[in-house]
Amino acid sequence: MITLNHLPAQAFIEPATLTRVTQLVQPALHTLEQGTGAGNDFLGWQHLPSGITGDQLAHIERTAALLRTGCEFVVAVGIGGSYLGAKAVIEALSDNFAAYKPAAGARVLFAGNNISEDYLAQLMQLLAGKRFGIIVISKSGTTTEPAIAFRLLKEQLEREQGREWAAQHIVAVTDARRGALRTLADREGYVTYVIPDDVGGRFSVLTPVGLLPIAVAGFDIRALVRGAVEVETAQPEMVRTYAIMRNALYQSGKKIEILVNFDPRLHFLAEWWKQLYGESEGKDGLGIFPASVDFTTDLHSMGQWIQDGERTIFETVVSLATPHENLTIPHDEEDLDGLNYIAGKRIDEVNKMAELGTRLAHLDGGVPCRVIGVPRLDEEPLGQLIYFFEKACGLSGYMLGVNPFNQPGVEAYKKNMFALLQKPGYEELSATLRAKMEP
Ligand code: PA5
């Protein structure tokens, strides 16, 4: 089971602050679990892991097998919560160099998470003439980024492989009833999966939104869900502790939480975590800013700031106990690089000492540091980690006093973009923006 060591951070919090914040946790937990707070129509994720049936998982696995065996590539099209969960899990479980090694099944690629013309054109060049599948994921079915990517890829697939073949290799994950994607999927006869009404995008990785692409990539979604069920049913103390400590640190002037890893495969887990906490808590002029670093890489860039910059940060290190591989540092007769003092040691031992040394240095430098221990980067611990972060996020948001399940702020850029692109209905805003931009 994953663990949390928060003690090194406690020294940075006044006892009175800790007492005051700790008193918020039970009422917040009650609000979350009884569904009595703001956003209570988006609490379905709490029982997703234990609620998924064997039949539902088997259906996802069958669709995944069809795509995995019938296609060279499968493109998962989505953005935000319809992208980051699958990306995080697939990256965490994949060989670092999987893209350059032979694959046992379809390779999963991602699109619809940006509007880069070069990205989309180069993706289409890669896919040209190849049998590829598409998993198009959008709860609303109207989000611009995935809609553009899907329009391009669908057109390419139908043109190259024929409409019938395309329809058999496009899967839509969307709302049960509403949205353009639902209408199209029903008309074309795509296989579809439903994103439950009461599950918001950033809490949806344990629905087909995340599970289908993860299964296509060849990973064990049953073990992932099992890990999540373990945390859902055990309700470990670490959920409460994580939420209490981050709120107490926030009240103590620590406005930025940095999620730290010492393994590059965790990079996208941090991206997923940043969305989860950033979109859930950053509102009403409140909220810890969630940031992330990849160590030791970023010790040679952001390390200086973390050690010595403004003291408004705290760290949460995701610490992997055991690597999958076993590699030792060789002895060298000449020892020109001076590394013989660690010859015979495993690379992981050096990495662990880098981690410990960094944590101690940062504590000395005034950076509170907590550690989440993860036994191995496998499906089950990842499932535990996902549910742990989700539950702690809902709890932490209510303790902060915000609605953790809406995201009103993301509409601002969309409105401006639509107005600047002269979308019908946005004429007035378009005129206002253009007037603002005039010299
Ligand atoms: O967490 C969220 O709700 C958002 O990040 C959405 O997932 C994101 O905006 C994509 O929305 P949709 O799935 O409707 O295309």
Distance of CA 101 to the CA centre of its chain: 25
Instruction: Name the burial class of residue 162, with classes exposed (0-12), middle (13-18) and buried (19+) by CB atoms within 10 angstroms of its CB.
Output: exposed
Q: State the chain's mean pLDDT as an integer.
A: 96
- Pocket residue to mutate for ligand 1, from 77, 110, 139, 175, most atoms within 8 A of Cβ: 139
Provide residues with CB under 6 Å of ligand 1.
79-82, 138-140, 143, 146, 200-202, 279, 407
Of the CA atoms within 13 Å of residue 310, those in its CB half-sphere come to 5
Q: Ligand 1 centroid to 78 CA: how many Å? A: 8
Residue nearest to atom 15 of ligand 1 (CA): 138
Q: Could you identify the atom of ligand 1 that is nearest to the CA of residue 410?
A: 9
Whole-number pLDDT of residue 8: 87
Q: At what angle do helices 25-34 and 379-400 cross, to 10 degrees?
A: 110
Q: Could you identify the atom of ligand 1 that is nearest to the CA of residue 174?
A: 13
Q: Which CATH number fits domain 45-219: 1.10.3090.10, 3.40.50.10490, 3.60.15.10, 3.30.310.160?
A: 3.40.50.10490
pLDDT tens digits along 84-133 = 999 999 999 999 999 999 999 999 999 999 999 999 999 999 999 999 99
Amino acid in position 135:
I
Q: Could you identify the atom of ligand 1 that is nearest to the CA of residue 195?
A: 13
**Is the pLDDT assigned to residue 439 strictly greater than 80?**
no
Q: Give the pLDDT band of residue 252 (cuts 50, 70, 90).
A: very high
Torsion, Cα of 154, 160, 163, 166 (10° steps): -60
Q: CA–CA separation, 32 vs 12, rounded Å?
A: 28
By annotation, the residues acting in catalysis are 279, 300, 414
Q: Ligand 1 centroid to 141 CA: how many Å? A: 9
Whole-number pLDDT of residue 7: 86
Whole-number pLDDT of residue 47: 96
Q: Is 375 in a helix, a strand, or coil? A: strand
Query: What's the pTM value of the predicted model, to 2 decimals?
Result: 0.97
- Edge-first strand listing for the sheet containing 191-194: 107-111, 73-77, 132-138, 170-174, 191-194
User: Could you tell me if 368 and 84 are in contact, meaning their C-beta atoms sit under 8 angstroms apart?
Assistant: no
Q: Is 6 in a helix, a strand, or coil? A: coil
Instruction: Answer yes or no: CATH 3.30.1360.10 is held by domain 3-37+227-400.
Output: no
- Pocket residue to mutate for ligand 1, from 82, 207, 276, 411, most atoms within 8 A of Cβ: 82
- DSSP letter assigned to residue 75: E
User: Could you tell me if 276 and 291 are in contact, meaning their C-beta atoms sit under 8 angstroms apart?
Assistant: no
Of the CA atoms within 13 Å of residue 35, those in its CB half-sphere come to 9
- For 306-330, letters b (16+ CB in 10 Å) and e give beeeeeebbbbbbbbeeeeeeeebe
pLDDT tens digits along 257-287 = 999 999 999 999 999 999 999 999 999 999 9
Residue nearest to atom 12 of ligand 1 (CA): 138
Q: Residue 108 has which token pair?
A: 């999963």
Q: Ligand 1 centroid to 294 CA: how many Å? A: 26
Q: Ligand 1 centroid to 375 CA: how many Å? A: 31
Please, which residues have CB within 8 angstroms of residue 344's CB and are 6 or more apart in sequence? 328, 329, 331
**Is the pLDDT assigned to residue 56 strictly greater than 90?**
yes
Residue nearest to atom 2 of ligand 1 (CA): 201
Backbone angles phi, psi at 369, to 5 degrees: -140, 130
User: Could you tell me if 257 and 318 are in contact, meaning their C-beta atoms sit under 8 angstroms apart?
Assistant: no
Q: Ligand 1 centroid to 374 CA: how many Å? A: 28
Residue nearest to atom 9 of ligand 1 (CA): 80
User: Could you tell me if 167 and 189 are in contact, meaning their C-beta atoms sit under 8 angstroms apart?
Assistant: yes
How much of the chain exceeds pLDDT 70, in percent?
100
Can you say whether the dihedral through the CA atoms of 182, 184, 186, 191 is positive or negative? negative
Q: Name the residue ranges covered by the structural domains of the chain.
A: 3-37+227-400, 45-219
**What mean pLDDT comes out for the span 283-312?**
97
User: Could you tell me if 281 and 404 are in contact, meaning their C-beta atoms sit under 8 angstroms apart?
Assistant: yes
**What mean pLDDT comes out for the span 159-167?**
97
Strand partners, 346: 328
Q: What is the CA radius of gyration of the chain?
A: 23
- Pocket residue to mutate for ligand 1, from 41, 83, 140, 175, most atoms within 8 A of Cβ: 140
Q: Residue 391 has which token pair?
A: 């539950």
Q: Ligand 1 centroid to 313 CA: how many Å? A: 28
Q: Ligand 1 centroid to 271 CA: how many Å? A: 14
Taking CA atoms, 391 is separated from 238, 257, 336, 369, 425, in Å, by 10, 17, 51, 21, 39
**Is the pLDDT assigned to residue 55 strictly greater than 90?**
yes
How much of the chain exceeds pLDDT 90, in percent?
95
- Pocket residue to mutate for ligand 1, from 41, 42, 77, 79, most atoms within 8 A of Cβ: 79
- For 282-294, letters b (16+ CB in 10 Å) and e give bbeeebbebbbbb
pLDDT tens digits along 375-409 = 999 999 999 999 999 999 999 999 999 999 999 99
User: Could you tell me if 406 and 253 are in contact, meaning their C-beta atoms sit under 8 angstroms apart?
Assistant: no
Q: Ligand 1 centroid to 199 CA: how many Å? A: 11
Whole-number pLDDT of residue 388: 98
pLDDT tens digits along 311-361 = 999 999 999 999 999 999 999 999 999 999 999 999 999 999 999 999 999
pLDDT tens digits along 186-226 = 999 999 999 999 999 999 999 999 999 999 999 999 999 99
**Is the pLDDT assigned to residue 411 strictly greater than 90?**
no
User: Could you tell me if 354 and 262 are in contact, meaning their C-beta atoms sit under 8 angstroms apart?
Assistant: yes
Q: Give the pLDDT band of residue 141 (cuts 50, 70, 90).
A: confident
Same fold, 3-37+227-400 and 45-219: yes
User: Could you tell me if 66 and 190 are in contact, meaning their C-beta atoms sit under 8 angstroms apart?
Assistant: no
Q: Is the peptide bond before 296 cis (omega within 30 degrees of 0)?
A: yes
Cα–Cα nearest to 90, from 110, 65, 72, 69: 110
Q: Is 139 in a helix, a strand, or coil? A: coil
